[in-house]
Amino acid sequence: MTIASPNARVRVTIWNEFVHERNNPIVEKIYPAGIHTALQTGIAQQLGDTVDLRCATLDEPQHGLTDDILAATDVMLWWGHTAHDRVEEEIVAKVHRRVLDGMGLIVLHSGHASKIFQRLMGTSCMLRWREAAETERLWITSPGHPILAGIEGDYIELPQAEMYGEHFDIPSPEELLLVSWFEGGEVFRSGCTFQRGQGKIFYFRPGHETYPIYYNPQILRVISNAVLWARSDSGNYQFEGRHIEQPLSPIAPRPPSQ
């Protein structure tokens, strides 16, 4: 096992299915090089040379997530929407194992319905939604949390957003950082942290493909903060169960069970 230095560059893989950008003219105009590229550029501007960034997409061999890429990833971002069913179960299992071993995972927007998030949460992860270009305010419920560092004021406001509403079928978050209010009246748990095995997980709601949300500096600041938060300094923790033949201390003889 290799222990990562706290000062080492964070190795980040941005996974995007990269479907809408190639078949929807509205999305193509907003993200001509793909949502993953917008995220890569924005995170690089926020974090500079503290990160190594790579991208992977659905149509690449093994969805761009080979064993070597997974082993060299400290934190993964996941954006998906229309092609969740096309993600191979074998790849989901490998990503799941990496999270348990210590890889951080940031699930964005409609990634709530991805196979990997549902597997990690153990629930449907479904919700209510409406697309009406309405105002969203993401209210800060945990000021001072490192994921919210540098965010000024009590909330982040997005002028146009897709509504997500409760009930959100997830386990109770370990930390609730942001709660959204929408112009139509609904609310939603939009910034939630979890831990599975050694891996830290952050679900962050904003990011519908027909709005330029991933160019918003405050949204990029939250995502970039989450990258630093989700990185584990313990390296890749791998544990396999094993039978213990010899006890550490003597065990007194006992009669056989009846």
- Provide the whole-model pTM: 0.91
Residue keyed to tokens 């406001």: 157
Residues forming a β-bridge with 162? 131
> Which pLDDT score is estimated for 247?
81
**Superfamily for domain range 10-122+189-230:** Class I glutamine amidotransferase (GATase) domain (3.40.50.880)
- pLDDT tens-digit readout, 179-233: 999 999 999 999 999 999 999 999 999 999 999 999 999 999 999 999 999 998 7
> Which pLDDT score is estimated for 29?
97
The CA distance from 222 to 43, in Å, is 10
> Which pLDDT score is estimated for 252?
84
pLDDT exceeds 90 at position 251: no
Please state the length of the chain.
258
The CA distance from 194 to 177, in Å, is 11
Give the confidence band of 127 by pLDDT, cuts at 50, 70, 90.
Answer: very high
Contact 236, 1 (CB under 8 A): yes
Give the confidence band of 236 by pLDDT, cuts at 50, 70, 90.
Answer: low
The CA distance from 65 to 72, in Å, is 10
119 closest CA partner among 140, 151, 101, 95:
95
pLDDT exceeds 80 at position 167: yes
